[in-house]
Chain A
Amino acid sequence: MIGVYNGLRFDLRAGKRYLLLSVALGATVAFTVILGGWVKASAYQIDWSEFTLGDNALLILAGLLPPDQIERDSILFPIGWMLLWTACALAPIAYVGKYGKGYFGVSSLLKSKKRSSWFLAKCIWALIATFLFWIAVAITAMFLTSINSGHFSLEASSSIEAINLSRNDELLDSPYDLTSFLLMIPLIGALFVLPLVVISLLKNELFAFLTVLVSLLPALLIVSGFIPGEYLMAVRSDCFLSTGISSIQSLAYAVLVGFFSTLVGALIFRGSNIVGMVETYD
C-alpha cells in the first residue's frame, strides 16, 4: 500500500496541471452548456430565470430519451451532454497517456519498483481528477443558479421543453426529482472514466477517445444495458421514466465496469512488455 501511496503522491504533483485542466473543463463546459440552454429556452419562450438548480443540471445531464419514445424528426443531438462526458474523460486520458509512458513514465515506474502499485496509483489519480471535474460542474451550476432564480432545489420542471422531451406514457409527471441521479453521477462518472484510463495506458490516448465515442453514441440510437451511455443520461433514469434505470442499477454497473477494467488492466500491465521509441505497452 505504501507503494500506491507514494505513487499517488507523485502523480498528484506531476499531474497538477492536468488536475487544474479537469477543473477548468468542468467549469467551462457547465457554464457554456447551461448558458446555451438559457438561450434555447428563450427561443422557446420559456422563462429561464425561474430555472432551479435541478433545471440547470438537466440542461447538461439530460441526454436523450430512448429513441422509440421520440419523434424521429424531433431528435436533437445532445451536444452538451456529449461535450460534458468527453471533457470529463479528457484530462485523465491525456495525463496517463502522455506521462504514463515515455522516459518519464518508465522512470517513475522503475522507481515505484512494483508495476501494480504504479498502475493503481494512476487509476486513483484518474478518479480524483474526475471528482474534481464534477465538483467544478456542481459549483458552476450553483453559481449560475444563484444568478438566475436562486432556487437550489434539485427538482426540475421548467427546463424540460427546452431540452425537447416529447410526452409519452412512460414519462413521469413533473416536477422531476433529480436528487438520486445527481448524487450518484460523480461516482458513476469516475468509474466510467477508469476503463478509458486503462485503455489510454495500455494502448494510446486516441484509442481511449474513440472508446469514449463508442461508449456514448450508440446510446443515442438504441437502448441496451450494455452501453455505458445509457447510465449517464438523466432522462433515462427512474427520475423521468417509470421504466427508467435506478441510481442503484447505474452504480452497480459502474462499479462492475470500473472494478473489472482496473483488475484486467492491472493483470495485463503486470506482464506487459515495455518497448518502443514512444513507449507502448505490448
Chain B
Amino acid sequence: MIEVSSFSKTIRGHKVLREINLTVRPGEIVGVKGPNGSGKTMLLRAIAGLVYSDAGAIFINGIKLGPGVPYPVNLGLLIETPSFLAHYTGLDNCRLLASIRNTVTVEDIKTILRQVGLDPQDRRPFHKYSLGMKQRLGLAVAFMERPDVVLLDEPTNALDQDGVEMFKSLICKARGCGASIVITSHDDKVLGMVSDRMALVEEGRLIEEKPPMRDSNICCSQSMGGRDE
C-alpha cells in the first residue's frame, strides 16, 4: 500500500509538490492527470524514493521512505523515455537488470517480452529499436519482476493501438496480483479505462480525486488473478 501524507518538495527554490495526500491500496489503480509541469512525474519519483520529502512523508506498507532506508517492496517503474545499454539486445538488457535481484528466470523474462510484443530472439541491439519498441521494453522491465508497486509515467507514449491493448492487459494482470499502481498520462481515454480513481494535480497540488468518467473499468471485465506462466 502506498500512503502519501502531506508530502511537500522544493527543488532549486521551486515548490514542485505541495502537501500531497494520496493513498493507493493493493490491487488499486490511481490515474494522475494534470498539465505539463504540474508535478505528476515528481510525485512518481517521490513514491519511488528518488526524491525525499521536505515536509510530510511517504509510507510503503507502513515503512517510511527516507535516506538510508532500503526500498521496502518490489517496485516497477517507467519514467520518461526508457534507455538501456545501446549495444545489448532487449533480452540481454532485461537479463542484466533482473540479475541484480535474481527473482525471475530467463523464461519469465522471455514471457514478459512476448507479452509486450517484443521477440526474445530478436538480436537487434537496443540502439536500433524504434520509439515504440523502446517503450515496450521499458514496460517489460517495469513488470518483469511481478512488482508490488508500479509507477508509470506516460506508459502509452509511442504505442500503437495494439500496444495500448497490450498495456491494458499488463496493468490489469498486475492489479489482479495485488499491485498498487499509479499512472500518469495525458491520455484521458487510457486513464479512464484502467483507473479506479483519478487524481488531478495542478501546480504541485492534488486538487481533486474522482472516479473516472466511463461506464466500467476494463480490468473488472477481464478475468483476474494468477500469473501468466
A residues sitting closer than 8 Å to B (CB atoms) are 6-7, 9-10, 13-14, 17, 99, 102-104, 106-108, 110-116, 270-271, 273-275, 277, 282
Query: How far apart are the CA atoms of A46 and B97 in the complex, in Å?
Result: 55
B226 at the interface (CB under 8 A from A): no
Query: How far apart are the CA atoms of A13 and B11 in the complex, in Å?
Result: 34
A108-B97, A277-B80 known; A14 vs B85 contact (CB < 8 Å): yes
Residue from A10, A17, A103, A273 in contact with B83 in the complex, judged by beta carbons closer than 8 Å: A103
A274-B45, A275-B50 known; A104 vs B101 contact (CB < 8 Å): no
CB-CB contacts below 8 Å: B36-63 with A: 42, 45, 48-52
Q: Which of B18-26, B68-76, B188-196 lies at the binding interface?
A: B68-76
Q: Which residue of B lies closest to A14 (CB)?
A: B96
Asked if residues B97 and A270 are in contact (CB atoms below 8 Å), the reply is no
Q: Which residue of A lies closest to B141 (CB)?
A: A107
Residue from B11, B51, B52, B81 in contact with A103 in the complex, judged by beta carbons closer than 8 Å: B81
Main secondary structure of the interface of A (DSSP, over half): helix
Residue from B80, B87, B93, B97 in contact with A111 in the complex, judged by beta carbons closer than 8 Å: B97
Show 14 residue pairs from A and B whose CB-CB distance is below 8 angstroms, ordered by the A residue.
A6-B101, A10-B96, A13-B99, A103-B79, A103-B80, A104-B84, A104-B97, A107-B77, A110-B75, A110-B77, A111-B101, A271-B67, A274-B45, A282-B11
Query: How far apart are the CA atoms of A141 and B50 in the complex, in Å?
Result: 46
Q: Which residue of A lies closest to B68 (CB)?
A: A270
Asked if residues B52 and A273 are in contact (CB atoms below 8 Å), the reply is yes
A273-B11, A282-B11 known; A7 vs B100 contact (CB < 8 Å): yes
Q: Which residues of the partner chain A approach B77 to less than 8 Å between Cβ atoms?
A: 106-107, 110
A103-B80, A106-B79, A275-B51 known; A112 vs B100 contact (CB < 8 Å): yes
Q: Which residues of the partner chain A approach B11 to less than 8 Å between Cβ atoms?
A: 273, 275, 282
Query: How far apart are the CA atoms of A106 and B34 in the complex, in Å?
Result: 24
Asked if residues A275 and B45 are in contact (CB atoms below 8 Å), the reply is yes
Query: How far apart are the CA atoms of A14 and B80 in the complex, in Å?
Result: 21
Asked if residues B84 and A10 are in contact (CB atoms below 8 Å), the reply is no
Query: How far apart are the CA atoms of A75 and B141 in the complex, in Å?
Result: 56
B138 at the interface (CB under 8 A from A): yes
Query: How far apart are the CA atoms of A174 and B42 in the complex, in Å?
Result: 64
Q: Which residues of the partner chain B approach A112 to less than 8 Å between Cβ atoms?
A: 100
Query: How far apart are the CA atoms of A271 and B49 in the complex, in Å?
Result: 10
Q: Which of B80, B82, B100 has the most CB of A within 10 A?
A: B100
Query: How far apart are the CA atoms of A9 and B96 in the complex, in Å?
Result: 10
- Minimum CB–CB distance from A57 to chain B (whole Å) comes to 34
| Interface residues on chain B, number (Cβ under 8 Å) | 34
Asked if residues B82 and A103 are in contact (CB atoms below 8 Å), the reply is yes
Asked if residues A102 and B83 are in contact (CB atoms below 8 Å), the reply is yes
- Minimum CB–CB distance from A123 to chain B (whole Å) comes to 17
Query: How far apart are the CA atoms of A245 and B115 in the complex, in Å?
Result: 63
Asked if residues B138 and A113 are in contact (CB atoms below 8 Å), the reply is no
Asked if residues A275 and B42 are in contact (CB atoms below 8 Å), the reply is yes
Residue from B45, B49, B85, B99 in contact with A104 in the complex, judged by beta carbons closer than 8 Å: B85
B12 at the interface (CB under 8 A from A): yes
Residue from B12, B51, B99, B101 in contact with A274 in the complex, judged by beta carbons closer than 8 Å: B51
Query: How far apart are the CA atoms of A274 and B49 in the complex, in Å?
Result: 9
Q: Which residues of the partner chain B approach A110 to less than 8 Å between Cβ atoms?
A: 48-50, 71, 75, 77
Q: Which residue of A lies closest to B12 (CB)?
A: A282
A103-B81, A103-B82, A107-B77 known; A273 vs B50 contact (CB < 8 Å): yes
Q: Which residue of B lies closest to A114 (CB)?
A: B70
Q: Which residues of the partner chain A approach B70 to less than 8 Å between Cβ atoms?
A: 113-114
- Minimum CB–CB distance from A17 to chain B (whole Å) comes to 7
Q: A6-B102, A110-B71 are in contact. List 15 more A-B contacts (CB 8 A).
A: A6-B99, A9-B99, A13-B96, A14-B85, A99-B85, A103-B138, A104-B84, A106-B50, A108-B100, A110-B48, A110-B49, A111-B101, A271-B67, A273-B9, A275-B51
Query: How far apart are the CA atoms of A275 and B12 in the complex, in Å?
Result: 11
Q: Which residues of the partner chain B approach A270 to less than 8 Å between Cβ atoms?
A: 67-68
- Minimum CB–CB distance from B37 to chain A (whole Å) comes to 13
Asked if residues B52 and A271 are in contact (CB atoms below 8 Å), the reply is yes
Asked if residues A103 and B84 are in contact (CB atoms below 8 Å), the reply is yes
- Minimum CB–CB distance from B58 to chain A (whole Å) comes to 14
Q: Which of B71, B80, B83 has the most CB of A within 10 A?
A: B83
Q: Which residues of the partner chain A approach B49 to less than 8 Å between Cβ atoms?
A: 110
Q: Which residues of the partner chain A approach B102 to less than 8 Å between Cβ atoms?
A: 6
Q: Which residues of the partner chain B approach A6 to less than 8 Å between Cβ atoms?
A: 99-102
Q: Which residues of the partner chain B approach A7 to less than 8 Å between Cβ atoms?
A: 100
